[in-house]
Amino acid sequence: MKKYLVPSLLSANFYNLKDDLKVLKDNGISIIHLDVMDGMFVPNLSIGVPVIESINKHMGDDFIFDTHLMIEKPERYIEAFKKAGADILTIHEEATTDVKSVLKDIKNAEMKAGISINPETDVRCLDEYLEYADLVLVMSVHPGFGGQKFIEDSLQKLEYLDKKRKDNNYNFILEIDGGVDLSNVKKVYDRGVDYAVAGSAVFRGDISSNIKEFCKIIGEYDE
């Protein structure tokens, strides 16, 4: 599968979101990462349904909306995010009691269903969900804030999941989120990552040239 850079809008300029999105589009970005926080599951608040809806209204055809729910009991909002324009809806294993049925409900709502784990969560807890997941997201920082340092132990989780995927012929997308930058993105792609989320490494400084640098690395993986 092709490798993607998936910019996290958490680090975008919200006053100037329209222009930032245009820069992403002009540089060939096709997937955007939308971080939703509730102040409960993580100690922070961020964007939610209205912002996603507004982006969808104007640029819905330009991007796949990769929506990362860092919220308690995400099952309450499946329909709301579907209506807002989410294409992929990722929940946290730690945030709900019946992961399997939430993943099924997301698929029934015609979105791709993603499952994510926090850095302190044992990756093996995902075993029972892998056959139902369209995407598996490994958090490589403690969720809640952009600009943190990449947790190196995440690399082993990626290796574990990539092997599981190969051994069982699963076809979930493998995604990593947190502290990804130009210095480590190759390490995660080499371990099977398809979607590398990056917030501060994309939006800090010149967005266009940051993306171009990432694309040079992605180019090394093109057949």
Partner interacting with residue 111 (select from Zn ion, ligand DX5, none; CB below 5-8 Å by kind): none
Site residues for ligand DX5, 148-177, by CB under 6 A, read 148, 177
* Per-residue x/- track, 16-55, Zn ion (CB under 5 A): -------------------x--------------------
141 forms part of the interface with ligand DX5 (CB under 6 A): yes
Site residues for ligand DX5, 184-223, by CB under 6 A, read 197-201
6 forms part of the interface with ligand DX5 (CB under 6 A): no
Question: Which tokens sit at 81?
Answer: 């995010």
CB of 23 vs Zn ion, minimal distance in Å:
20
Stretch of 42-50, 67-75, 187-195, 213-221 lying at the interface with Zn ion (CB under 5 A): 67-75
Backbone angles phi, psi at 122, to 5 degrees: -65, 130
Instruction: List, by residue number, the catalytic residues.
Output: 35, 177
Partner interacting with residue 48 (select from ligand DX5, Zn ion, none; CB below 5-8 Å by kind): none
Q: Based on CB atoms, which residue is closest to ligand DX5, 108 or 208? A: 208
Query: What residues make contact with ligand DX5 under the rule CB under 6 A?
Result: 8, 10-11, 33, 35, 68, 141, 143-144, 146-148, 177-180, 197-201
Query: What residues make contact with Zn ion under the rule CB under 5 A?
Result: 35, 68, 177
